[in-house]
Structure 1
Amino acid sequence: MRDKYRRGGRRSRGWGLAAVLLVSLLLCGPVPAPSARAQEVEGFDLTVSPVKKEFTLQPGEGLDFAVTLINHAEHDQELLVYAMDFTVDQYGNYEFHEPGQISYSCSRWIEIPRERLVIPARTQHEEPFRLQAPPDAEPGGHFSVLFFQDASEPPPGQGVKPSYRIGSLILVTIPGEIVRDAEIRSFSVGSDFFSLWGPPEEGEVKWPARDIPYRVEVENTGNVHLTLRLLILYRPSVGFGSGSVDLGEITILPGTVRVLEGHLPKPPFLGFFRAEAVVSYGPDMYTFDTEKRAGKRFVVFPVLWFLFLVLVGTGVWYLARFLRGRFQVSLRVSRRR
């Protein structure tokens, strides 16, 4: 009888050791990476406003416009001014090209009075430009970017100085057979089974923090640029937790696809959920009266927590059995005496 309860004690101690080990693993997650500090650009402190200008022109029509430049530095800022074509890949990365290389370019429509200018220190300046559409301009969207580049000379003995620049997008629509439309090509939200707690407020999301990724593909199926708003909503079918992710406004060029990826910042804890991507747009960059929606289901079920509870419960049960057996043995010995 005594050997039986000794074996039970060894089993109980084994379960207790396993429980302690699991708790240690649960509490010892990866150390968060230190936050990165943005590097300041010395000698170039310029604001361009607006960052995006939209125009509607008839073929052969012209108009004057201005770009506001603010020099925040304590010294005069010498600038080069020029226009370039651009393309945008599906992840929002820009590529710039010489004027006239892209079929929907309007870079050669922009008349630049001064290709080199100086903005005095701590002042605001409006630089005038003219946009002239050719008589045979095709209906649809035409695009360019106006760059303002640092043209100052490097200090003596400093070697080659990097050039910094900032731009303002020029978006032109030529009336005609205009199509403004977008489609959500795909939408996905990941499920989560093995996380232990919510994601950090800052920094990269890594296990064991809860990581619920999303991915949205939106295509501009029209022939002009679209400025649209994107929102992700999620609510429980069965469970706890609901919320939304506002992805803000983006501009998509015609015939291109934009992919937006990320992680739900406040993911739900437990249940079956339905997420919905909502894309809103309209006839201009200020109106959002058309909606497209796509839905996706996902599951959040913290398996490790349930395993932990089962393990703790089993350990408590074995411990209770062991203590009860020891108490019975002790009681029998006392009675014999």
Structure 2
Amino acid sequence: MRPLARLLPLLLSLLPATAAAQATVGVDPITKLFSAAPGQAITQVLNIYNPNSTAQKLRIVAYLSDMNIGETGETEFPPVGTVKESSAPWTTFTPSEIELGGLETKQVRYTIQIPPNAAPGTHWAMLMFEAQDPAAVPGKTLASFRLRVAHTMYVNVQPIKAEGSITGIFDAPPKNETDIYQLAVQYANTGNAATGVRGRVELRDARGDLVATLPLELTVALPGRTVLLKSAWAGPVPKGQYSALVILNNGDKNKDILGEHVVTLPFDLKARSQAATPAAAPAATPAPATAPAGTTGGPGGKP
């Protein structure tokens, strides 16, 4: 089973870079996933480029950083060695500083030396590239810019195992008839591999008929951590009690992870075109009425 290999293109889109909206420096590739054994060395060459057609040169400073993803999806960049699965202490790179003219590209090379006693599982770190204004004068320049992008390095030290479960299903019922019903699914990654988790919620009425399907978008789940996958249900929806079947997948094409929850609407919800809330809920889409075979269940409930 190779869950990360199948989900790699989607994982890359989730953790692209930490640059500001106006890109001043770029890195290619953005992310790399390596599979290795203890004691092995890995070398990768990165292209660092200045996409701007200007005469002024950019000073690029490179440094390593740890990375963590919080339960609600926020990405954090703690100092090297903070995250226990960090591969930053194994990593060296050169050069640590370059200058780029307009439309110029230069290369940075890094090596990951995996220790002989490295623990199995996914290890990761980020190589940051910070663009600084070379014309800034300390004590005289009123403002200068510092923009950065990051190259994320994932290393799967064999053997790896993708494993997880639904540890909670929480909801926030609508406060009025123009509100939306919000639902969050808590997933715990109990394996040793970083995986992408995605799925859907199938909502059925009292007769068992499928009335809506809510998407749970792809989320990166780091090993030993929990993440929340969120969705919402917009009107028009009649009041009453509904059954919510949560179906998650962490890259294993032969097995889904299931959870159940009871949804109670105390009043009819109006259509979103009549709602006054600022953010629109994801559109409900049709889905098969039955879950794939070979599934495992998980608990559900309200906080």
| Same-fold status (TM-score > 0.5) | yes
Cα separation, 2, equivalents of 1:258 and 1:125: 37
CA distance in 2, matches of 1:82, 1:298: 48
1:97 maps onto 2:97 in alignment: no
Percentage identity across aligned positions? 19
Tell me the residue number matched to 2:162.
180
What displacement does 1:148 show?
A: 1.1
Deviations, residues 132-153 of structure 1 (Å, cap 9, x unaligned): 2122212222111111111223
RMSD: 3.1
Deviations 1:222-272 (A, max 9, x none): 1222222233332333599833333332222211111234533x4451154
How much has 1:93 moved relative to structure 2?
A: 2.3
2:251 pairs with 1:269: no
1:136 aligns with 2:117: yes
Distance between the aligned counterparts of 2:21 and 2:249, measured in 1? 40
1:117 partner amino acid? I
Distance 1:216 1:110, change over 3 A: same
AA partner of residue 60 (structure 2): L
> Which runs of 5 or more structure 1 residues have no equivalent in the other structure?
1-39, 196-208, 306-337
User: Which aligned pairs between 1:177-216 and structure 2 lie closer than 5 A?
Assistant: 178-192=160-174, 194-195=176-177, 209-216=178-185
Q: 2:285 maps to what in 1?
A: none
Q: What do residues 168-205 of structure 1 show as CA deviations (whole Å, max 9, x unaligned)? A: 221112114x332111111134444730xxxxxxxxxx
Equivalent in the alignment of 2:52? 73
Q: Which residue of the partner structure matches residue 334 of structure 1? A: none
Quick check: 2:202–2:210 contact (8 Å CA) kept in 1? no
CA shift at 1:115, angstroms?
Answer: 0.7
Q: Alpha carbons of 1:194 and 1:249: their partners in 2 closer, same or farther (altered >3 Å)?
A: closer
What residue is the counterpart of 2:38 in the other structure? Answer: 59
Provide structure 2 residue ranges, at least 5 long, that are not aligned to the other structure. Answer: 1-18, 271-303
CA distance in 1, matches of 2:20, 2:163: 40
Residue aligning to 1:114: 95
Q: TM-score, normalised by structure 2?
A: 0.69
Equivalent residue letter for 2:153: I
Q: Normalising by the residue count of structure 1, what TM-score does the alignment of the two structures yield?
A: 0.63
Give the direction of change, closer, same or farther, for the CA distance of 1:46–1:268 in structure 2 (3 Å limit).
Answer: farther
SS of 1:135's equivalent in the other structure is: coil
Specify the alignment match of 1:220 in structure 2: 189
Query: In 2, are the aligned partners of 1:280 and 1:289 still within 8 Å (CA)?
Result: no
Q: Distance in 2 between matches of 1:300 and 1:43?
A: 44
Secondary structure in structure 1 of the residue aligned to 2:67:
strand
Computing the radius of gyration over CA atoms, which structure comes out larger, 1 or 2?
A: 1
Counterpart code for 2:192: N
Q: Judging changes above 3 Å, is the alpha-carbon distance between structure 1 residues 218 and 121 closer, same or farther for their aligned structure 2 residues?
A: same
Deviation at 1:61, TM superposition (A): 0.6
State the 1:214 CA deviation: 0.8
Do the aligned residues in 2 keep the contact of 1:275 with 1:298 (CA within 8 Å)? yes
2:46/2:109 contact within 8 Å kept: yes
Q: Alignment partner for residue 147 of structure 1, among 117, 121, 128?
A: 128
Which of 74, 82, 101 is 2:63 aligned to?
82
Aligned to 1:298: 263
SS at match of 1:172: strand
C-alpha separation in 2, matches of 1:79 and 1:134: 30
Note closer, same or farther for the CA distance 1:144–1:297 as it changes in structure 2 (3 Å cut).
same
Change (3 A) 1:70 1:215: same
CA distance in 2, matches of 1:236, 1:142: 44
Q: Equivalent residue for 2:27?
A: 48
The structure richer in helix per residue is 1
